[in-house]
Amino acid sequence: MCANFTEDAVLCENCVELWQAEQTVARETQRIKQQEQRDKASVEVSSQQETAPVAVRRKQSNPQLIPLSVTIICVAIIIARQLFFSGPDFVPLDDETRIRQLRITSFEECMRVFSQIGQALARGDTPNESLRCDGSGQGNIVIREGNNIIIEHPQPDFYGYSRIYVSRNSPEPTVVD
């Protein structure tokens, strides 16, 4: 689920950041080498154009400096990554935890549906029959008591309750153990 497609491979988010750092370092290294070659070529051209012998001081380049710089930058990126993002990116869930989370999410969605039903009842409207919780597979139970209309969940035990309802007199969802 964390796959990122790069020019060269498919990588997770952590590896993409390292890959991007490596690409940046490689581009900078190439740019520095090209600049050194241009400087060297311009020094050679200018020395050939001069008529009188002049001592030309060339810029000394240390070939060990570039790999050392690259290493320092990469280590700094890795350390910064560990300091700022030390939490686990993905924690696998066991089946029981996953089922519990699905039930919680389903219950929250059901409470939103019953809130919509309660709002319609409070306005004096008749709620649309399509407003029902997905987990039930059945239509809601409608009870009329005089001027009051009560809408109940057909299977509240699915969520571990004995009753889930809203009414015109009490439009907020009510849950009974």
- Predicted confidence (pLDDT) per residue in 24-79, tens digit: 888 888 888 888 888 887 776 666 655 545 555 555 566 677 777 888 888 888 88
If phi over 0 gives left and psi between -120 and 50 gives alpha, with beta otherwise, what is residue 11? beta
Strands 174-176 and 163-167: antiparallel
Least confident of 66-70, 89-93, 138-142, 153-157: 89-93
- Condensed to tens digits (0 to 9), the pLDDT of residues 13-23 reads 778 777 788 88
CB atoms inside a 10 Å sphere around CB 36: 13
pLDDT in the model for residue 90? 57
Q: Taking the domains of the chain in order of start, what are their residue ranges?
A: 4-84, 95-176
Highest mean pLDDT among 4-13, 98-107, 115-124: 115-124
Average pLDDT over residues 94-112: 84
pLDDT digits (tens, 9 = 90+) for 107-152: 888 889 889 999 999 998 888 888 888 766 688 889 999 889 999 9
